[in-house]
Amino acid sequence: MEVYLDNSATTKVRSEVLKQIVDVNENYYGNPSSLHRMGLQIENKIQAARKSAAKVINAKTEEMYFTGGGTESNNIAIFGHLNNIDAKNNIITTKIEHPSVNNVFNNFKDKLEVRFVKSDNMGRVDLEDLAELIDENTLLISIMHVNNEIGIVQDLDKITKLVKDKNKSIKIHVDAVQSYGKIKIDVLKLNVDTLAFSSHKIHGPKGVGGLYIRSGLNLKSMIFGGGQEKSIRPGTENTPGIVGFGEACDLVYSDFKQENQKLRELKNLYAKRLTEEIDGIKINSSLDEDGAPHILNVSFKKVRGEVLVHYLEQKGIYVSTGSACSSKARNNRILDAINLDSDFVDGTIRISLGFFNSIEEVDYVVENIKLSVNDIRKIMK
């Protein structure tokens, strides 16, 4: 039995999506920039995909830009916002960002002040602290909508209101790679300026992502070339990838509620069964509305997460771990930020769910986690 529970790392492409990718490669291989009919045909398909991607977050089609993936989108947005900076300026982000935001912010440390907002033990941004950090010199705030390791969902509504109330000119970037297609986002209601998303987290192909840029906003270009994607991301479009991504967006949109509910039920069931059947366990993800429906982060005392991953892979079960089994200094920014008890840090795994997971897998997975944890504990005692 193969049970893939690493959907926050990446997902399996859905067959409908695969069909589109093959179709573009076989029949619509023209370059959208070409003047002839083949160019026009694929350009139309890309526009259709843009529409599909826009629908997921209620954006206008012309606000959507395709990129090479989530990391690229975060980089384009942050660098693009910071085109006119001074040493007295500051930018703010959380301590639990993905490296594609965290490392970009760190890169600016010698040019201006980088401020990190506190979060609580569940990873929720401390709004009071945020209010204190904001001043007239703040240029940009970048917030991760759903954290990739623990799945906490930030209250973007409150955060954006707070920010814009304090200082209207501050730009807000949202890394929505883990939430796009998983949690309802309405950019019309949210006061965000840019928002990054990715295709391969929602059963689309790898190597495609996108950036929402609120209309009227001018981002400084980072990459120069032939002017594709209105010069935000020049370079010949990844046409099969974009069309495949569009299909994945359509699929998300068609059964959003039902799918979302299924994921949440599965997540809660895993949390319940594991807590009931295994001692020395801690659930690090919120099981309430502020927990993403598809991410369950769990720690086991006296277990090495990496060893558990290898035990489970032998049974065809694929989960992930953030902490490496190594004698060298352990470094997990996210688990440190939520103050996870050191007894638990080493034994942390992430179960992340997707379209292909079902309730029928739960018995098999729970049973094998139980057996593996017991065996590892016997050896490590």
Q: Which residues contact 100 (CB under 8 A, 6 or more apart)?
A: 70, 71, 74, 75, 175
For residue 182, how many other CB atoms are within 10 A of its CB? 28
Nearer to another protein among residue 306 and residue 361 (C-beta)? 306
The CB-side HSE value for 5 (13 A sphere, CA atoms) comes to 31
Min. distance of Cβ 308 from another protein in angstroms? Answer: 8
- As a whole number of angstroms, the distance between CA 126 and CA 129 comes to 5
Nearer to another protein, 36 or 328 (CB): 328
> Between residues 175 and 306, which has the closer beta carbon with respect to another protein?
306
Question: How far apart, in whole angstroms, are the C-alpha atoms of residue 228 and residue 33?
Answer: 8
Whether the Cβ atoms of residue 327 and residue 355 lie closer than 8 Å to each other: no
Instruction: Decide: helix, strand or coil at residue 62.
Output: helix
Query: Where would I find the H helices in the chain?
Result: 15-27, 37-56, 70-81, 99-107, 127-133, 156-166, 239-254, 256-277, 305-313, 333-337, 342-345, 362-380
CB of residue 381 to another protein, shortest distance in Å: 8
Take residue 324 and report the two structure tokens written for it. Answer: 């490496």
Q: Using an 8 Å Cβ cutoff, are 152 and 123 in contact?
A: yes
The catalytically annotated residue of 48, 85, 122, 325 is 325
Q: Based on CB atoms, which residue is closest to another protein, 168 or 328?
A: 328
Closer residue to another protein in complex, CB, 287/325? 325
Q: Which CB sits closer to another protein, 222 or 325?
A: 325
Minimum Å gap between C-beta 363 and another protein is 22
CB of 335 to another protein, least distance (A): 18
Question: H or E stretch including 90?
Answer: strand 90-94
State the nearest-atom distance from the C-beta of 71 to another protein, in Å.
Answer: 22
Residue 319 amino acid letter: V
Between 35 and 379, CB nearer to another protein: 379
Contact residues for another protein, defined by CB under 8 A: 304, 306-307, 310-311, 313-314, 324-328, 379-381
Beta strands in 95-203 (DSSP E): 113-117, 138-144, 171-175, 194-198
- CB-based contacts of 24, cutoff 8 Å, min separation 6: 42, 45, 239, 240, 243, 244
Please confirm, yes or no, whether 249 is among the known catalytic residues.
no
Q: How far is the CB of 270 from another protein (least distance, A)?
A: 21
CB of 134 to another protein, least distance (A): 40
**CA-closest candidate to residue 232, choices 52, 379, 17, 63:** 63
Q: Is the alpha carbon torsion for 172, 173, 178, 181 positive or negative?
A: positive
Closest distance to another protein from the beta carbon of 346 (Å): 10
Helix (H, G, I), strand (E, B) or coil at 216: coil
- Got the DSSP string for 315-376? TTEE-B-SS---SSPP--HHHHHTT--HHHHTTEEEEE--TT--GGGHHHHHHHHHHHHHHH
d(CA 202, CA 182): 8
Instruction: Output 311 or 355, the one with its CB closest to another protein.
Output: 311
Q: Indicate which residues carry an active-site annotation.
A: 325
